[in-house]
Structures are given as C-alpha cells and as structure tokens.
Structure 1
Amino acid sequence: MGIELLPKHITDLYEVHEWRHACAILKNDFPNEWDDILTVLENFRLPKSSIVDGGGRKSKVSNMIDKHFYSLGWEERSFKTQVVIDDNAFDSPTHKVDCYKNKIALEIEWNNKDPFFDRDLNNFRLLFELQAISVGIIITRCDHLQELFNKLGKGSKYGTSTTHMSKLLPRIQGGGGGGCPLLVFGISKELYVEDN
C-alpha cells in the first residue's frame, strides 16, 4: 500500500510521491495527523493573487498552508540536539521545521532556492535517526506551473533554480532523506483559481 491510500480527489489535485511506506505509517500510526494533512490539502487553493502579488519574507502560498496547519495544532519547531563523546557535549543544531505535530515534520517549499531541499532532507534524515520524527513531508510546486507563471508575466520570479518537483525528486532518489519515510506533494494547476 502506498499513495493509493490517499483519496482520489487528493491525487487528482496534487502530484504525489512516497518513500518507505510514509502513507501507511501516517494513516495507521498517526491518524489524527493524517486527517489534518488531508484537511489542509483538500481546502487549499492556489489563488492568482498569491502568484502575481509580492510575498515579502515568506510567500503567500507558504503562509496560507502554515496558518491552516497551525490552526490544527501544528507548530513551527526547533530541536536542541547534541553529540556526546565521553563527558564532552557538542551542540548539533538542526534547522527548525515549518510545521510539526506528534513526530510528523512538514516543510513548505514554494519558491526558495533549490538547496533548501538539501537542508530539509538532511534535517529529516537526522531527526529520524534521532527518533524525533517518524515521517517527513514536503509540499512544493509541480514543474508544469511554470507555464502558468509565464502566462501571468511572473515566469522570471519562479526560475529553474528555485524549489519545484524536478529539483526535489533526484535528491530523494539519491538518498538525501536517508531512511526517513517521506511523502511529497506537488501543487498542480488543478488547484489554481482566479481571484480579485
């Protein structure tokens, strides 16, 4: 069992990829978090204004998704980690996770530089090895949205060196997430809506 555990209306709206039985782990071991994820994905739409208007420090798309998860009890989370050798402790800080709840870590990468994927995957790998998380999730954008961005006159804002699916998949297939179960959602043109 894999992504077929997801409702069809989700797989119709998102490009989905899974590694190491992430869907089965979520659905069976973390049913509340699974329901939260499905709720956020079902309710998310990609409004035209979120593409054409400036986003500031964080994109409007990331903010919309974050806020919905936060309203369901998820939180941005940092972890204090150390390596101890004999009596000597060395801090080994991890990057904070966008959305975290009950050992599930979720990152939203809408339009960052693509090395952010390396950071996210390395963070998931380390936190999984330390038993701080059980599944890592990344929400990014599908490659085909570039056509929409170009049509809206914003194509240069979303360049080839920014976060999108074809920049993420080779990193995962190359072992970037280590043994961490991973679930990836690509925001597709099916989610696009015109707004004022």
Structure 2
Amino acid sequence: MEWNSKDQTFDRDLHAFRAFHECDSIDAAVLLARSASLDTVFEKLGPELDRDGNPRLDGKGRPRLIESKYGASTTWMGKLPYRVNAGRHGGCPVLAVGITPELMTDREEYDREHA
C-alpha cells in the first residue's frame, strides 16, 4: 500500500499484477486509492506543521497547505480507470476501492471541532 505517490505508480503496479498473475503467483489484486471526495477533507486540514507545531512556509513566506500535497498527478481514483480500461493489468482481476470521507470514523467529531 502506498499513499499519494505519483500517478505513474499505478502503471508500475498494474504491470506487476499482470506479471504475478501470469506466473500464477496471485489470483487477483486490490488497489486502495483516495476518491476525489476526500479533497474537501484535505481543504479543512490547514497548514503543514513542523516538529514544533509551527506552520511550514512556502517560498513566498505563506503557510503551505496540506491540500496542496494532493494534486491531480497523484494516485487517486480519477487516474486509475483509463489505465485499467487500457488493459495494463493483463488478465489479472483488479478490485479498486476509492476511500471516501464517509469511511472516516471520526469525521463528524473532527468537523464539529474544526467548524
């Protein structure tokens, strides 16, 4: 499992699934990735913090927001379907699961505390 890698990681993983499946090493593969709906959660997280709890700053002296780490070129569900539809996984069955805000067990508590 990887989190927030560059989207080319999907290509590497799908090709690996294909090779493992063709060698009878695996029967199926599972990919967990964030859904686009997590973007609203990231927007509420605020700035990155250093070890002392101070906001990290960008080159212009502004706080670096956590949400900026989750851009369109990272591993999220929007970058996966066309790769699977292109057959990059070969004959290996792939279960792709998109993580949504509804899967966060403490989300309502967090929303109340950070409203």
How far did 1:109 drift?
Answer: 3.5
How far did 1:191 drift?
Answer: 1.7
Indicate yes or no: 2:94 matched with 1:182.
Answer: yes
Separation in 2 of the partners of 1:174 and 1:144? 25
* 15, 27, 36: which one aligns with 1:134: 27
Aligned AA (1:164)? W
Identity among equivalent positions (%) equals: 47
Separation in 1 of the partners of 2:98 and 2:3? 10
How far did 1:126 drift?
Answer: 0.6
RMSD: 1.8
**Larger strand share, 1 or 2:** 1
Structure 1 segment 160-179 matched on structure 2, within 5 A? 160-179=72-91
Structure 1 segment 24-173 matched on structure 2, within 5 A? 108-153=1-46, 154-173=66-85
**TM-score when scaled to structure 1?**
0.43
Stretches of 4+ aligned residues off by more than 3 angstroms:
none
How far did 1:147 drift?
Answer: 1.8
- Larger RCO (CA within 8 A; separation ≥ 6): 2
After superposition, what is the alpha-carbon deviation per residue over 1:165-184, rounded to whole angstroms, capped at 9, x for unaligned? 01111110111111001111
Aligned AA (2:75)? T
**TM-score when scaled to structure 2?**
0.71
Unmatched segments (≥5 aa) in structure 2: 47-65, 111-115
SS in 1 for 2:91: coil
How far did 1:156 drift?
Answer: 0.2
Separation in 2 of the partners of 1:114 and 1:143? 14
After superposition, what is the alpha-carbon deviation per residue over 1:74-125, rounded to whole angstroms, capped at 9, x for unaligned? xxxxxxxxxxxxxxxxxxxxxxxxxxxxxxxxxx242111111001000000
Separation in 2 of the partners of 1:147 and 1:162? 16
